[in-house]
Amino acid sequence: VSNAGVGMAGPLECQSLAAMQSLMDTNFFGLVRLVKEVLPDMKRRRGGHIVVISSIMGLQGIVFNDIYAASKFAVEGFCESLVVQALRFNVAISLVEPGPVMTEFEAKLYEEAERADYSRTDPETADIFTNLYLRNSKDVFASLGQTPEDIAEHTLRVIEAARPPFRHQTNVAYTPMAALKHADPSGALMTEAFYKLVFKYDTVLRLGLR
């Protein structure tokens, strides 16, 4: 089970390249290093199961989570490319894709975001992040967040499955969000829906979550 991860949220201009590289080294290359270690023996034994804790953000990018989403997209692409070869050796790969999870990981991330310096971006972007994104995120976590124990139960079911699924989403509330991309290959439907949700109907969104 690969579960190492770090988060990053905020305006792109306020994040250093070094911090981005460190995040990718943990979230993506950490997984790659693990798989390189365990896969050869699993192939020799012709049996094994690699379970990767991904994220719904590996399927759908979320505003102000550019680099974190990129790392999870990399995880998804890596596993999707590897799974066919692995099946040839009777090795299963499963991606567990949670939405928001109520842990100290997220609490620390948002505490740091509230104290961060946003002078390197324009005032409008800083205002959108602090007064729209952070506020809405708290409501999202309070309304839709899962406990670590819930994610552990989902992961256990994936591990014990007779035919392990390649992808397993833990929160049905996010299924429509992921489906928008497949409904319109041009991306216009998904982009317009999220734009309206963030900038036009944010009050309705908060009321609905509460």
- Which residues are known catalytic residues? 68
Inter-CA distances, 177 with 52, 125, 194, 197, 208, Å:
21, 24, 9, 12, 16
Q: What three-state secondary structure class fits 33? A: helix
Strand partners, 101: 146
Residue with tokens 């952070």: 134
Q: Are 139 and 102 in contact (CB under 8 A)?
A: no
Closest C-alpha to 10, from 99, 126, 176, 147: 126
* 198 vs 48: CA distance, rounded Å: 43
Residue with tokens 């819930």: 150
Q: What angle do CA 92, 154, 175 make, to 5 degrees?
A: 95
